[in-house]
Every structure is written in C-alpha cells, then in structure tokens.
Amino acid sequence: MKLTAARAQQLVSAAAGARRHAHAPYSKFRVGAALLAASGKMYTGVNVENASYGLTICAERVAVGSAVAAGERQFVAIAIVAPGAAMPCGACRQVLAEFGDCAVICADAKDRRQLRLEMLSVLLPHIFRL
C-alpha cells in the first residue's frame, strides 16, 4: 500500500480525533496518533499520562500496540497530532523501527495544515538490532 496525499490527510484527521481522548491531566500536552498498516487498516492511539511520569505511554506506542494486538506487523505511515507538530520521542522511534521503515507525519494541533513529513529511517538512522 502506498501513502497518498488523501490517505495522509485521513491519518492526520484520525489522529486529531483521537487526540480528544488523550489522558494528559499533568502536562496538558495532548497527543493523538493514527497508524496505517500495510493491510490498509488504521489504528489510533493517545498519550496516557500517569502521576508517576515514567509510566506514561506515548500515543505512538498505544497505536502500535493496538495494531500488533490485531495481528499487524507492517506499517506504511503514522500521523501524530500534537502542539508544535512534535516529533516522536526516541523510544517511539525505536518501537516503530521494530516493524520496518514508515513515513512519519507530524501535524500541529492548532493548525493541522502545518505538516512535517519524514521517513522513520531518517529520524532514527542507527536503530538498535538484537
């Protein structure tokens, strides 16, 4: 499956919709993610904060977990909607890299037309492999 402009916009819209359900009572930094699997199915995730910050789960990893739980193992793209079009953290980059290279689309929460697009392999050029 190829990532088209229309599909990229669908991902951004889905991530923005999911973002409304983020649990971010401490930082107020709400993030939504939408992951496109090679099957064509889409999986969403939100950040889930915890009073013990180290236990917080990023939206990207929630989306990956949902996709993997459904049997997916190949991803085409992930869209992330957050303040400032924030890029995925290093841990999320590594988790995504476990399943190969994919497009990473980051959109600003206030103006979703402000997009940043990069391939995961550019964001994490030296992934850890066991």
Question: Which positions are catalytic?
Answer: 60
What does DSSP say about strands 115-119 and 103-108: parallel, antiparallel, or unpaired?
antiparallel
Helix segments in the chain, DSSP class H: 5-19, 59-69, 90-97, 120-123
SS3 of 119, please? strand
Rounded to the nearest angstrom, the gap between the alpha carbon of residue 110 and the centroid of all alpha carbons in its chain is 17
Q: Give the strand pairing for 75-82 and 103-108.
A: parallel
